[in-house]
Structure 1
Amino acid sequence: MPNYDAHLLSGILTYPLAVALAGILKEYSGIPFEFSSIALILGYALYVLGSDLPDMDHPDALLHRGTKPIVAVAVGSAVYLQALHWFSFSEEWLNQTAAWGVGVVGALSGWFGFTWLMPRHRGVVHSLLFAAVYGLLAYLLGTFGLRMTGGESLYLSIAAFLGYTLHLLLDGSLKLL
């Protein structure tokens, strides 16, 4: 099975094929992809990330170890923002400190929850279903997060999906679920 470097280098090297496939799909099936520079650059990032993303379910994978603290910080920060409204001490720094105390509990929950929720290696995360989920998330990021046009977001979606699928192909594990 390919390792971290092999997956990412494959993503880096094969991106022009993804661009060509999207171009063919646009030309012959009428899918309204838009190939703006920003869509192509973000598509490259999502494609390369996707080329190793299925390994986030392996506890020793670099991606797993890198994603886990990001999830913890994101959950902790979201809890902090909610907890800010729970305190009304006379000093603002006390409100901030108390809210971060609650946020830390959320971060710890995110840390341990990430491990608990992660399925076994080469399970459902190594599937075309999750490739489609990743593509959908890329579309939502483009449309609602970055306010890109529908065609640009569609392109992000196919680039993400194809990068993720590349990983599955390299692993020899192309399955629906």
Structure 2
Amino acid sequence: MPNYDAHVLSGVVSYPLAVALAGFLSSKGLPLELTTMAMIIGYALYVLGADLPDMDHPNALIHRGTKPIVSVLAGGATYINVAGRMNLGAEWLNTAAEWGIAVVVALIAWYAFTWLMPSHRGIVHSLLFAFIYGVLAFLLVEYGLDMSTGEGLYVGLVAFLGYTLHLVLDRSIKLV
């Protein structure tokens, strides 16, 4: 099976094919907008998707990279929700206690990430997850970045294609 370099570099070099496919589909009436910003964001999510299915392998670089990001995001989101709610006296003490709670949640997220991850080449290595990744990319672009629906559809499509590229390289294409 291909390794990290093979998956990522395949994504890096095959992106023009994804752009060509999207351009062709757009010329046939699909409402895809291939703006410069959409293509740059699409490139990043396409290449990320080319290795993302391996996040279910505890020794994979993508797993080791994703795990701290999830942990920090969980801790940061917790801090945002508890900030200003403590009253232990001094402001610095309140802030330290609020961050203490955030750190506990970050630690729980750290261990839960691996514990909740299915076995390698399980459901994460499926077209269902490729579709979910594409939908999340679309939502990020349209609602998170406030870009147009056509740009979101383009980014969602190429994110799906990048994820699917990984499955093709692994010779393991399954629906679920």
For 2:149 and 2:85, how far apart are their aligned partners in 1? 39
Task: State the Cα distance separating 1:89 from its structure 2 match.
Answer: 2.9
Q: Which residue of structure 2 aligns with residue 3 of structure 1?
A: 3
Q: Which residue of structure 2 aligns with residue 131 of structure 1?
A: 130
Q: Which residue of structure 2 aligns with residue 24 of structure 1?
A: 24
Task: State the Cα distance separating 1:23 from its structure 2 match.
Answer: 1.1
Q: Which residue of structure 1 aligns with residue 44 of structure 2?
A: 45
Render the CA deviation track for 1:120-172: whole Å, top value 9, x for unaligned. 00000000000000000000000111000000000000010000000000000
Query: TM-score with structure 2 length normalisation?
Result: 0.98
Q: Which residue of structure 2 aligns with residue 155 of structure 1?
A: 154
For 1:167 and 1:3, how far apart are their aligned partners in 2? 10
Unmatched 5+ stretches in structure 1: none
Q: Which residue of structure 2 aligns with residue 67 of structure 1?
A: 66
Query: TM-score with structure 1 length normalisation?
Result: 0.97
AA aligned to 2:126 is S
Q: Secondary structure at the match of 1:121?
A: coil
Task: State the Cα distance separating 1:70 from its structure 2 match.
Answer: 0.7
Task: State the Cα distance separating 1:83 from its structure 2 match.
Answer: 2.0
Structure 1 runs (4+) deviating above 3 angstroms are none
Q: Secondary structure at the match of 1:86?
A: coil
Q: Which residue of structure 2 aligns with residue 171 of structure 1?
A: 170
For 1:6 and 1:43, how far apart are their aligned partners in 2? 19
AA aligned to 1:84 is A
For 1:123 and 1:36, how far apart are their aligned partners in 2? 35
Render the CA deviation track for 1:33-74: whole Å, top value 9, x for unaligned. 001100001100000000000000000000000111111111
Render the CA deviation track for 1:93-131: whole Å, top value 9, x for unaligned. 111100011111100110011011100000000000000
For 1:11 and 1:173, how far apart are their aligned partners in 2? 17
**RMSD value, Cα:** 0.8
Q: Secondary structure at the match of 1:152?
A: helix
For 2:40 and 2:4, how far apart are their aligned partners in 1? 22
For 1:153 and 1:86, how far apart are their aligned partners in 2? 37
Q: Which residue of structure 1 aligns with residue 94 of structure 2?
A: 95
Q: Which residue of structure 2 aligns with residue 13 of structure 1?
A: 13
Q: Secondary structure at the match of 1:22?
A: helix
Using the TM superposition, name which of 90-99 and 158-167 deviates more: 90-99
Q: Which residue of structure 1 aligns with residue 121 of structure 2?
A: 122
Task: State the Cα distance separating 1:78 from its structure 2 match.
Answer: 1.2
Using the TM superposition, name which of 87-96 and 123-132 deviates more: 87-96
